[in-house]
Structure formats: structure tokens, C-alpha cells
């Protein structure tokens, strides 16, 4: 995983932690997650979400 990919994953984790519980925010995050499955399924993003 490149440094840029790690930075993107961390940025998305911060966004996830700061979601405003609005449907549109959840849709945007889910769309990013689906579009970036390679980053997510390498485990780093999912490990962060599962804590």
C-alpha cells in the first residue's frame, strides 16, 4: 500500500468518525467505500472501522 493510499484511508476514517448521522453523509461514505474496495479489503480500513 502506497503512502498516498494510507493517507486516503486515514482521511476517510476521520470523515467516518465525524459523520453527522445524515443519510447523505452515509451514502457518500458508502459510495467511496464501494469505489475503493482494494484499499478497504486489504484490511487496513476495515480494521480501523472495527476498532
Number of domains in the chain: 1
Q: What was the pLDDT predicted at 29?
A: 78
pLDDT value at residue 46: 61
Determine contact, residues 50/13, Cβ cutoff 8 Å. Answer: no
**Domain of 22?**
3-50
Spatial neighbors of 12 by CB under 8 A, at least 6 apart, are: 29, 32, 33, 45
DSSP code string of 23-48? HHHHHHHHHHHHHTHHHHHTSHHHHH
- pLDDT digits (tens), the chain, 51 positions: 677 877 777 777 777 666 677 778 778 877 887 787 776 666 566 666 665
**Quick one: which of 51, 22, 3 has its CA closest to 30?**
22
**H/E stretch holding 2:** none
Amino acid at each position: 500500500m502506497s503512502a498516498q493510499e494510507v493517507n486516503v484511508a486515514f482521511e476517510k476514517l476521520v470523515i467516518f468518525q465525524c459523520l453527522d448521522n445524515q443519510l447523505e453523509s452515509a451514502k457518500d461514505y458508502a459510495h467511496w467505500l464501494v469505489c475503493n474496495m482494494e484499499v478497504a479489503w486489504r484490511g487496513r480500513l476495515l480494521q480501523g472501522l472495527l476498532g
